[in-house]
Amino acid sequence: MVAHTGGRMPILEHFRELRKRVVRAAAAILVASGIGWAFYPRIVDLLAKPICDLHRAHLEGLGSCGSLYVNGVLGPLNLQVTVSFLVGVILSAPFWLYQLWAFVAPGLHQREKRYSVIFLLFATPFFAAGAYLGYRVLPLAVKALLGFTPSSLNNLVRFDDYLNFVLRLILVFGGAFEFPVLLVSLNLAGVLSGRAILKPWRFAIFGITFFTAAFSPTGDPVTMSLLALPLVALYFAAGAIALLNDKRRARKAISS
């Protein structure tokens, strides 16, 4: 291991640390993807419900399910691999989020373990809340997007494209909800003050709006608003928590 000089990690050691964190995160995603593969039929039934009830169609012996179809010989296999991988990313979120924090957290030394645990405890439910909100928004997004289809035309939806869209929507919502957790964690680590978080609030709101417009897979105003508004509220909440923590830290410094 390369020795630290002046309390700073050499650039080569940064790359080694990054490689270690990436390998661990990839291994966790791979294992969780196996779970997604095992429960693939149930997962597909759940995700397809906004357009068609696959389980009911199977029980009724229907040859097709609404406007959904799978294209090509490799289509079913590619679909199962893609869904399993994205489900693996979602299920393993607590672990790879911890790896991300462990790499980003700057030189906490003795306090690193404590802050890592705090980050993990809050990152997991926030990611789950964002993913759940994305799933609840899904029917509204599908209805809004399919509503642009002319009445004289039929809209045939490729099943793999649809499920990719669904899982990307869930991942974007879940990942976006980590933003306030990261801000508070960096404040606890002494990297960002509450003032530094809230001072550029106009730029922060613009950045949140730009993020939702750029990364939302739907592009419709309803979905973007349902993502942007909670993020703005969580941003100000994170800033308020950081300010309270700064005051607590200042009082502690004075008393000591």
Distances in Å between the alpha carbon of 79 and those of 34, 40, 50, 71, 129?
14, 10, 18, 10, 26
The mean pLDDT value of the chain amounts to 80
The C-alpha atoms of residue 84 and residue 43 are separated, in whole angstroms, by 9
Q: What pLDDT band is residue 1 in, cutting at 50, 70 and 90? A: very low
Predicted model pTM? 0.71
Residue range 224-237: mean pLDDT, rounded: 91
pLDDT cut 90: percent of the chain above it: 19
For residue 3, is pLDDT > 60?
A: no
CA atoms of 208 and 216, how far apart (whole Å): 11
Mind listing the pLDDT tens digit for each residue in 167-205? 788 888 888 898 898 888 888 877 889 999 999 999 999
Which tokens belong to 198? Answer: 């809230």
| Across 30-45, average pLDDT | 90
pLDDT level of residue 207 (50, 70, 90 thresholds): very high
- pLDDT score for 70: 74
For the residues 13-32, what does the mean pLDDT come to? 88
Q: Which among 216, 240, 239, 238 is positioned nearest to 227, based on CA atoms? A: 216
- What pLDDT score does 65 carry? 61
Question: Residue 6's pLDDT band (boundaries 50, 70, 90)?
Answer: very low
Q: How many CA atoms lie within 13 A of 143 on its CB side?
A: 8
